[in-house]
């Protein structure tokens, strides 16, 4: 088990490093940061001045190596756009994104597990079809479009929820639903498949034969086993939710990491973008690692593979 | 007895749901008149609130409301009036002296005097201080204190637009405070003399302004009427519109034409449109080594001018507030005129004839670069196609488009220019025709005329030189002047405000109906 964890950890570090390198190169290839910073109508001399001031005129390898070295030592640099330190800027926005990510995950689990159980119990019936439709719609509907639909219904027609901002818990309702609904189908299908498999197992038949009430059979005996892979998937999906909040935070003007990512992309704020990409990839890699380790712990066969 | 707990929990649940519902109904903020707070949403957060360290429109808006300049330009008459300077006098070609207003205080209580002006101007003129808006300050050589309320300003070279810049982006900071905290501290806690002061600023999220109760009563800006202004940064235009529809904001700007048209039917909203100083024109690459050989022929360039029905596009696609222009500058700018400039009527038959004469009876293929208002570019492409010019669209980001232009890899460009709201031709035409890096025409005669206009302080000499330059550009068809862009505002019906071509949102003028 120890060797497995060390191996996975090594892989995780390599993945994070590769992501940071690719992100660094792609961002630089997407355009000249000095031109973007100078703005419309800047003269060539002004652009040169900015390029030199910020060190964009040095070779890419040098810029990357310097950035990596400083990042490893905890020096995250200054935001080119907001002219403030990247570390505090990012960490001031992180709580909003974490709150949104966790609430979206919770929302997704709250709707997908009951639907998955229902679909499994009433396999191939209209209830199953209805649950499936709900899942398909969730996956097929782009979340920015679903977000706009929510705004139209709850903010413009019914006027019960604020459109945008992050001042109160009400501001988080629509973003949570919009983000959570998108990942719910994966959980639902996994729960359904798990439940169908478990419900056909011998020990369930035994439990039923013992005369246990159906609710107890389903929730205590079947669901507890069927839900194990869902827990593992949750870790991975949380990473996806944190990264995927860029669009949702932008639409709802939620002052989190996703919104900051959007702003830094718009303004070619490389230092901020780099750290956000790195932070999200590290979180994602760590969550995947946690999921792998959890799975390996639960199922010894994985350790060998 | 068994059912009792479930009844209680049902009641609890119902009460919870009701409370949540009531909370929800009361939850969303109601905008407006009731709490004397104007809620303004904008799509872009400024990189810094310090006006010298941002180059975005919202920065200019905040700058004008929180700070004052030495001189004020009346947006209705374009007349210059004293603001922080009582009066000024041009001493020679490069020297202006200012008598300053007495008794003005900054928001932190610091007194305004010659020190503030001298420190600010010398600070921004020094390139070591890395001011972002270099074009707004790189003409300043130095400022000197002549007395507690008297200052002398020297420009690097003859710079007739100095007064216009001093009435626009060049705001005055408090000397002591700015020296102490620098641009970073100024961004964190902004201090000016303007009609509004900043009370709260959350980076990238919102700024709260409050009426400056001590604002001097004889300011040409007038004292502010609305108590508080909340500026929120909402990047998504649809979300901004939803905020306006649900009364979550009182004012949004840069609303797309179709959405503005639809908002006219909403009872609690009003739609205002106004012309902006942003002009739209086509650049035609006719310089030495142009990759588009046909464009070197003046007949081809004239044919392009005749091929486009500018009136129709301005009316049907660009929308209310726009007007067709005949020279490449904004009509209100000093020195801008279309007098004596060739006007090209919409005449596709003549365009085809000119193309045939130039040796292109079946037209030719060329690229067209554009970076915004794609629907307008597509209309241009259609009109060009009708006379046989097959224009292929390349639609990159602005920075990439400029790189292509500067690398001489452009055939035609659908260009726009806002002149930084500077009401002087020197901020517009010379950028594209004065041998600057964006000039893809490079006519020495045009350049010399523009330089003559730029380098004289005699208004008549300047006007004559610009007129001749603009006439030559039109006569040689070195571009296609198209139209000015309008801006649409959607506002709460109870808000009273005026839209100006410089796109400056003057909160101090606004009031509730």
Q: State residue A85's pLDDT score.
A: 87
How far does the CA of residue B279 sit from the closest CA of chain A (Å)? Answer: 14
Contact B202 A156 (CB under 8 A): no
Measured CA to CA in angstroms, residue B172 lies from B63, B64, B285, B317, B451 at distances of 10, 11, 41, 41, 29
Contact A160 B402 (CB under 8 A): no
Contact B399 A160 (CB under 8 A): no
Contact A159 B238 (CB under 8 A): no
Q: Let me know if A53 is exposed, middle or buried by CB neighbors in 10 A (0-12, 13-18, 19+).
A: middle
Question: For B276, left (φ over 0), alpha (ψ -120 to 50), or beta?
Answer: beta
How far does the CA of residue A45 sit from the closest CA of chain B (Å)? Answer: 10
Of the two residues A294 and B73, the one the predictor is more confident about is B73
Contact A32 B235 (CB under 8 A): no
Would the pLDDT of A79 be above 90? no
B29 touches chain A (CB under 8 A): yes
Report the chain A residue with the minimal C-alpha distance to residue B246: A156
Q: B125 near B137, Cβ under 8 Å?
A: yes
Give residue A40's pLDDT band: very low, low, confident or very high (50, 70, 90). Answer: low
Convert A103-141 to b/e letters by CB count within 10 Å (16 or more is b): bbbebbbebbbebbbbbbbeeeeeebeebbebbeebeee
C-alpha B437/C-alpha B424 separation (Å) is 20
Contact B55 A259 (CB under 8 A): no
Which residues 115-134 on chain B approach chain A with CB closer than 8 angstroms? 127, 130, 132-134
Q: State residue B22's pLDDT score.
A: 38
B202 touches chain A (CB under 8 A): yes
ipTM: 0.74
Q: State residue A134's pLDDT score.
A: 84
Q: Which residues of A touch B236 (CB under 8 A)?
A: 250-251, 253
Contact A159 B56 (CB under 8 A): no
C-alpha A265/C-alpha B153 separation (Å) is 40
- CB A60: neighbour CB atoms within 10 A? 12
The residue of A40, A163, A175 whose CB has the most chain B CBs within 10 angstroms, and thus the best one to mutate to test that interface, is: A163
Under 8 Å CB-to-CB from B239, ≥6 apart: which residues?
Answer: A151, A163, A164, A251, A252, A253
pTM reported for the whole predicted model: 0.78
C-alpha B3/C-alpha B15 separation (Å) is 19
Identify the CA nearest to B413 among candidates B400, B401, B430. Answer: B401
Give residue A302's pLDDT band: very low, low, confident or very high (50, 70, 90). Answer: low
Which of B29, B130, B204 shows the shortest C-beta gap to A263? Answer: B204
Q: Which residues of B touch A82 (CB under 8 A)?
A: 47-48, 203-204
Helix (H) or strand (E) holding B305: helix B298-307
Give residue A238's pLDDT band: very low, low, confident or very high (50, 70, 90). Answer: confident
Q: State residue B27's pLDDT score.
A: 40
Q: State residue B418's pLDDT score.
A: 86
Q: Which residues of A touch B26 (CB under 8 A)?
A: none
C-alpha B69/C-alpha B195 separation (Å) is 12
Q: Which residues of B touch A92 (CB under 8 A)?
A: 203
Which of B29, B135, B184 shows the shortest C-beta gap to A46? Answer: B135
Contact B27 A36 (CB under 8 A): no
Which of B29, B48, B183 shows the shortest C-beta gap to A162? Answer: B29
C-alpha A207/C-alpha A279 separation (Å) is 47
Q: Count how many Cα atoms sit within 13 Å of the Cα of residue B381 in the half-sphere of its side chain.
A: 19
B403 touches chain A (CB under 8 A): yes
Strand B37-42 and strand B228-233: pairing? Answer: parallel
The residue of B55, B242, B262 whose CB has the most chain A CBs within 10 angstroms, and thus the best one to mutate to test that interface, is: B242
Measured CA to CA in angstroms, residue B80 lies from A89, A226, B390, B425 at distances of 42, 77, 48, 17
Q: State residue B17's pLDDT score.
A: 43
Contact B28 A161 (CB under 8 A): yes
Q: Could you tell me how many CB contacts below 8 A there are between chain A and chain B? A: 131
How far does the CA of residue A58 sit from the closest CA of chain B (Å)? Answer: 19
- Per DSSP, B508 falls in state G
Contact A165 B402 (CB under 8 A): no
Report the chain B residue with the minimal C-alpha distance to residue A248: B236
Contact A53 B130 (CB under 8 A): yes
In SS3 terms, A242-253 reads as HHHHHHHHHHCC
Mean predicted lDDT score pLDDT of chain A = 84
The residue of B235, B252, B404 whose CB has the most chain A CBs within 10 angstroms, and thus the best one to mutate to test that interface, is: B235
Looking at the DSSP bridge assignments, the partners of residue B274 are B487
Rounded to a whole number, what is the distance in angstroms from the first to the last CA of chain A? Answer: 12
Q: B32 near B492, Cβ under 8 Å?
A: yes
The secondary structure of chain A in percent helix, strand, coil, rounded to multiples of 5, reads 80, 0, 20
Question: For B445, left (φ over 0), alpha (ψ -120 to 50), or beta?
Answer: alpha
Q: Which residues of B touch A161 (CB under 8 A)?
A: 24, 27-28
Which of A39, A42, A89 shows the shortest C-beta gap to B203? Answer: A89
Q: B196 near B507, Cβ under 8 Å?
A: yes
Q: State residue B107's pLDDT score.
A: 96
DSSP H helices in B149-265: 162-166, 175-188, 237-245, 257-263
- Per DSSP, B507 falls in state G
Contact B418 A40 (CB under 8 A): yes
Q: How does pLDDT run across A139-163, given as a tens digit for each residue?
A: 888 888 899 999 999 998 998 999 9
Mean pLDDT by groups of 10 residues along chain B of 513 residues: 36 41 42 86 88 86 96 92 95 94 95 96 91 85 96 93 92 96 92 96 90 93 94 89 92 89 90 92 95 95 97 91 95 94 96 97 94 91 96 82 86 91 90 91 96 91 96 97 95 92 92 93
Under 8 Å CB-to-CB from B465, ≥6 apart: which residues?
Answer: B335, B449, B450, B452, B453, B456
Would the pLDDT of A277 be above 70? yes
Q: B45 near B233, Cβ under 8 Å?
A: yes
C-alpha A301/C-alpha A246 separation (Å) is 37
């Amino acid at each position: 088990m120890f060797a497995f964890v060390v191996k996975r950890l090594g892989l995780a570090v390599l993945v994070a490093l590769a992501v940071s390198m690719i992100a660094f190169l792609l961002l630089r290839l997407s355009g000249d940061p000095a031109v973007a910073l100078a703005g419309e109508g800047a003269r060539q001399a002004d652009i040169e001045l900015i390029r030199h001031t910020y060190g964009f005129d040095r070779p890419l390898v040098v810029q990357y190596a310097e950035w990596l070295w400083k990042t490893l030592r905890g020096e995250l640099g200054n935001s080119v756009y907001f002219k403030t330190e990247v570390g505090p800027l990012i960490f001031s926005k992180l709580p909003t994104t974490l709150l949104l990510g966790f609430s979206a995950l919770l929302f997704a689990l709250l709707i997908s597990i009951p639907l998955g159980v229902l679909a499994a119990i009433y396999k191939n019936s209209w209830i199953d079809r209805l649950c499936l439709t709900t899942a398909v719609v969730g996956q097929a509907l782009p979340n920015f479009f679903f977000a706009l639909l929510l705004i139209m219904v709850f903010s413009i027609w019914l006027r019960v929820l604020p459109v945008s901002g992050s001042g109160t818990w009400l501001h988080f309702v629509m973003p949570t639903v919009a983000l959570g609904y998108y990942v719910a189908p994966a959980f639902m299908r996994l729960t359904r498949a798990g439940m169908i498999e478990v419900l056909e197992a011998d020990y369930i038949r035994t439990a039923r034969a013992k005369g246990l009430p159906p609710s107890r059979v389903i929730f205590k005996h079947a669901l507890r086993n069927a839900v194990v892979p869902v827990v593992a998937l949750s870790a991975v999906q949380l990473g996806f939710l944190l990264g995927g909040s860029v669009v949702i935070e932008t639409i709802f003007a939620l002052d989190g990491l996703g919104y900051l990512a959007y702003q830094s992309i718009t303004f070619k704020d490389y230092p901020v973008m780099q750290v956000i990409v790195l932070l999200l990839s590290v979180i994602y890699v760590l969550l995947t690692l946690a999921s792998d380790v959890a799975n390996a712990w639960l199922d010894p066969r994985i350790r060998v593979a | 007895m068994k059912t009792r707990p479930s009844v209680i929990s049902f009641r609890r649940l119902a009460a919870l749901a009701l409370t949540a519902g009531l909370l929800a109904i009361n939850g969303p903020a109601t905008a407006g008149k009731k709490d004397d707070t104007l809620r303004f949403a904008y799509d872009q957060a400024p990189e810094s609130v310090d006006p010298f360290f941002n180059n975005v429109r919202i920065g200019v808006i905040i700058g004008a409301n929180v700070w004052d300049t030495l001189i004020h330009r009346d947006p209705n008459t374009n007349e210059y009036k004293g603001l922080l300077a009582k009066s000024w006098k041009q001493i020679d070609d490069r020297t202006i002296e200012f008598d300053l207003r007495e008794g003005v205080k900054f928001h932190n209580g610091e007194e305004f005097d010659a020190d503030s002006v001298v420190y600010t101007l010398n600070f921004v003129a020094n390139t070591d201080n890395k001011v972002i808006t270099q074009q707004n300050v790189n003409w300043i050589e130095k400022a000197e204190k002549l007395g507690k309320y008297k200052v002398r300003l020297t420009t690097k070279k003859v710079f007739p637009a100095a007064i216009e810049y001093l009435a626009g982006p060049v705001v005055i900071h408090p000397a002591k405070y700015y020296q102490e905290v620098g641009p970073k501290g100024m961004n964190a806690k902004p201090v000016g003399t303007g009609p509004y002061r900043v009370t709260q600023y959350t980076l990238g999220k919102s700024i709260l302004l409050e009426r400056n109760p001590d604002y001097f009563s004889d300011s040409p800006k007038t004292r502010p009427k609305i108590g508080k202004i909340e500026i929120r940064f909402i990047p998504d235009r649809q979300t901004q519109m939803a905020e306006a529809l649900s009364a979550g904001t009182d004012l949004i700007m840069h609303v797309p034409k179709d959405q503005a048209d639809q908002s006219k039917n909403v009872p609690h909203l009003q739609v205002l449109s106004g012309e902006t100083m942003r002009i739209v024109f086509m650049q035609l690459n006719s310089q030495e080594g142009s990759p588009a050989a046909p464009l070197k022929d003046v007949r081809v360039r004239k044919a392009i001018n005749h091929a486009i029905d500018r009136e129709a596009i301005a009316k049907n696609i660009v929308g209310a507030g726009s007007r067709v222009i005949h020279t490449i500058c904004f009509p209100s700018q000093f020195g801008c005129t279309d007098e004596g400039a060739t006007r090209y009527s919409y005449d596709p038959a003549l365009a085809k004839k000119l193309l045939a004469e130039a040796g292109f009876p079946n037209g030719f293929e060329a690229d067209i670069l554009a970076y915004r208002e794609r629907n307008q570019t597509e209309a241009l492409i259609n009109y060009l196609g009708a006379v046989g010019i097959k224009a292929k669209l390349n639609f990159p980001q602005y920075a990439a488009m400029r790189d292509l232009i500067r690398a001489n890899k452009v055939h035609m460009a659908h260009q726009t220019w806002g002149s930084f709201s500077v009401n002087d031709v020197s901020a517009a035409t010379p950028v594209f025709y004065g041998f600057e890096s964006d000039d893809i025409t490079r006519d020495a005669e045009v350049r010399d005329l523009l330089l003559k206009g730029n380098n004289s302080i005699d208004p008549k000499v300047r006007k004559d030189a610009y007129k001749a330059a603009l006439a030559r550009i039109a006569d040689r068809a070195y571009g296609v002047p198209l139209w000015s862009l309008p801006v649409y505002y959607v506002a709460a019906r109870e808000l009273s405000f005026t839209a100006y071509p410089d796109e400056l949102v003057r909160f101090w003028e606004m009031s509730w109906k």
